Amino acid sequence: MNVQPQMPKRRSQQERKSEAENALLDAASELFAEQGIAATSLAQIGERAGYSRGLVNHHFGSKSVLVDRLTERAQYRSFEHMEGQVHKSGRETILAVVDDYVALRETQPKDIQSFLVMWGAAFPEQTPVTGFKEADLRSRANLERTIRQGQKDGSINKQRDPAATAVFILALMRGVAAQTLIAEEELNPKQVREQCRAFVEAALA
């Protein structure tokens, strides 16, 4: 019996659009990590992704919009990861999130470096990263909510201020990630992760 070969399924317009946008965002992330935001052009992003500059403009319109979209995607992935770290207590969840965040430098160096580049670019008043302030607010709110959960289940000291503790933990994660990029060869990743855990445990105790 002759078996007719199946024709490959045609992708929908939305699927093609999503694939192109993700490829452009991946390329932008790599280039930002390598050379910063200001030195990266739309033409370079399109070339790295295998598309034309015109397609970058078509999907995003400007570099600032692309950066905001990349920030949103990074935050979404971070939230997805944090939601996957649901443990028996709020304290255990916070410790797992901190440990995994610090470990991202080992498993996803380009992603974390690009994220830190965009974070740093959000400090000046004239910045292309207009959505990073809102992204940071969401990150702190997520941590604060987990801290309150820990206080409710008795695993976190109730005298700790949830908002201030969330600021401390987020600053610790970002700062340590930045240091591991700057002083990669001088630091022992295992010792850094253990010390971070010890500091956070002390903050929550």
Does 52 share its domain with 145?
Answer: no
Does 80 share its domain with 21?
Answer: no
d(CA 139, CA 71): 12
Q: What is the pTM of this model?
A: 0.71
At 63 the pLDDT is: 83
CATH number of the domain residue 152 falls in = 1.10.357.10
pLDDT digits (tens, 9 = 90+) for 131-153: 677 777 888 898 999 999 999 99
What is the domain range of residue 93? 69-204
Per-residue confidence band for 155, with pLDDT thresholds at 50, 70 and 90 = very high
At 144 the pLDDT is: 94
Does 123 share its domain with 178?
Answer: yes
Does 87 share its domain with 132?
Answer: yes
Residue type, 65: V
Specify if 7 maps to a domain: no
d(CA 106, CA 102): 8
CATH number of the domain residue 34 falls in = 1.10.10.60
Does 43 share its domain with 141?
Answer: no
Count of domains in the chain? Answer: 2
d(CA 90, CA 165): 13
pLDDT digits (tens, 9 = 90+) for 17-72: 778 888 888 898 889 888 888 888 888 999 898 887 788 888 888 888 888 888 77
Per-residue confidence band for 165, with pLDDT thresholds at 50, 70 and 90 = very high
Specify if 163 maps to a domain: yes
Does 57 share its domain with 79?
Answer: no
Specify if 1 maps to a domain: no
At 169 the pLDDT is: 92
Does 57 share its domain with 78?
Answer: no
Per-residue confidence band for 126, with pLDDT thresholds at 50, 70 and 90 = low
Contacts for 28 with CB less than 8 Å, ≥ 6 apart: 40, 45, 66, 67, 70, 114
Does 75 share its domain with 54?
Answer: no
Does 132 share its domain with 84?
Answer: yes
pLDDT digits (tens, 9 = 90+) for 87-122: 678 899 888 888 877 776 666 667 777 777 777 776
pLDDT digits (tens, 9 = 90+) for 175-193: 887 787 777 677 787 888 8
d(CA 64, CA 62): 5
